[in-house]
Amino acid sequence: MPQPPPSPIEESEALDRILACIPAGDSEELVLEDCAGLYLARDLLARYPSPPFDCSAMDGYALAHTAEGYPAGSTWKILAGEGAAGSPTEHITAGQALRIFTGAPIPEGAGAVAMQEDVDRDPQSPADSLTLRCDYREGEYVRRAGSDLCAGQVLLRRGAPLTPQALSAGASQGLITLPCPPPPRVGILTTGNELVPAGQPLPPGAIHDSNLPLLQGLLRQAHVHLAGTAQCRDERDSLKATAHRLLSQDNCEILISCGGVSVGDHDHIAWLTKELGFTTVLWGVRMKPGKPFLFAAHPHGKWFFGLPGNPASAFVCFHRLVAPALRQRMGAAPELLIPPRIPATLRGNLENRGDRPHHLRGHRDADGFFQAVGLQQSHAIAGLANCNALLHLAPEQTLADGTTITVTPV
């Protein structure tokens, strides 16, 4: 049985070692709707200006350009017809106005658009005309071509997250695909003789496998491809066969195991990774929860994350050590690998009497108050279920009620 190093390494070093092993995936042209949650593989330059032509910002009337301006009380003869979005408009000449709607091209010869609420129109008068109720300026309510974006301008940077708003920017440029590394293909293996899938009755001494849906949910949030899942007893032969099957199916390149990564008689994950030809990159991290965490790399470009089985440990290890690696594989910009912390005001007093940095599970409310929730032990599920932020507490650190802190939303 391989032994973990006598002193676990710091979490920051663990993350550095993991990131040094996992390069960004090769990029492919992916259809826009499949790019949500992925990252752009190269800078995206605008092909067209935006707006592509001068257009109206309001429903109202296009007013012919005049050097005298557009004072309150001035009257304009309304031409027959209209300018609607999607159709080209006529040109207008001095003193004329044309009914126009938002998004319609500005007619040639127009200098401003008057909002319909700002004009008096007398449809009874034989000469259909309007009178301005207030002063207007040249160019008012005209969206100029290129005022938002010029052709050639960088619209999105390489490594940018492809949020819905980023996808809409791509579509506005007429693109149907974007270059991104495709989602990594990830398998999950839970191990434990005590585990029974939810939905099945519990024999004495058994517990439901709650980490499988935890990890499925976390992977879904991470926008990766779930290549397969399996639950296995703590038996070497079946672990080896199951892990081998998971790693061979659906081009699985990352296997995340949960449980059995410590040094007990029923913990076989360290043995398993060696048996499958992986090289251990690290085993043991100075963090709480999550100390037995293991990471191993295979020469054929596959990676193995061994998470501890306690639910809070699996959760914290995923956020701190797995998710940044998945983002790097997906081509995220370096500054996006670790999510930004946000300010909060602490409710209650906290103290870390242990010798490892502690990631406390807590809840941050809409007013910015953070409170640790439930038991802060690694098996505790109640607090985990209500946790929406993690607080890092260094060894010996104490924090008093009301202190301004920063927390990581999860």
Tokens 């032994």 identify what position? 3
Nearest distance in Å: CB 378, ligand AMP:
8
Residue among 60 and 192 whose Cβ is closer to Mg ion: 192
Q: Which is nearer to Mg ion, 260 or 357 (CB)?
A: 260
Q: Which of 74, 75, 102, 210 binds ligand AMP (CB under 6 A)?
A: 210
Size of the site for ligand AMP (CB under 6 A): 19
Going 216 to 304 to 357 to 1, the CA torsion angle's sign is: positive
Output 230 or 405, the one with its CB closest to ligand AMP.
230
Secondary structure, 3-state, 137-202: CCCCCEECCCCCECCCCEEECCCCECCHHHHHHHHHCCCCEEEECCCCEEEEEEECCCEECCCCCC
Nearest distance, CB of residue 268 and ligand AMP, angstroms: 10
Task: Tell whether residue 311 is a contact of Mg ion (CB under 5 A).
Answer: no
Hey, which residues between 346 and 405 contact ligand AMP (CB under 6 A)?
379
Contact with ligand AMP (CB under 6 A) among 194, 235, 250, 275: 194
Length of the chain: 410
Indicate whether 192 belongs to the interface with Mg ion (CB under 5 A): yes
Which of 151, 154, 207, 241 is close enough to bind ligand AMP by CB under 6 A?
Answer: 207
C-alpha to C-alpha distance for 177 and 41, rounded to whole angstroms: 12
Which of ligand AMP, Mg ion, none lies near 310, with the C-beta cut-off 5 to 8 A by kind? ligand AMP
R_g over Cα of the chain: 30
111, 183, 259, 289: residue in contact with Mg ion (rule CB under 5 A) = 259
H-helix or E-strand containing 120? strand 119-122
73 Rama sector, left if φ>0, alpha if ψ -120 to 50, beta otherwise: left
d(CA 184, CA 329): 7
What, of Mg ion, ligand AMP, none, does residue 379 touch, CB below 5 to 8 Å by kind?
Answer: ligand AMP
CB-CB contact of 214 with 221 (8 Å):
no
User: Which string of b and e fits 66-81 if b means at least 16 CB within 10 Å?
Assistant: eeeebeeebebebbee
209 contacts ligand AMP (rule: CB under 6 A): yes
Q: 140 vs 209, which CB is nearer to ligand AMP?
A: 209
Q: CA-to-CA distance for 45 and 397, rounded, in angstroms?
A: 48
Applying CB under 6 A, which of residues 310, 328, 352, 371 lies at the interface with ligand AMP?
A: 310
Q: How far apart are CA 298 and CA 126, in angstroms?
A: 85
Q: Which residue in 195, 312, 393, 410 binds ligand AMP (CB under 6 A)?
A: 195
Residues that bind Mg ion in the complex, under the rule CB under 5 A: 192, 259-260
Residues that bind ligand AMP in the complex, under the rule CB under 6 A: 190, 192, 194-195, 207, 209-212, 258-262, 308-311, 379
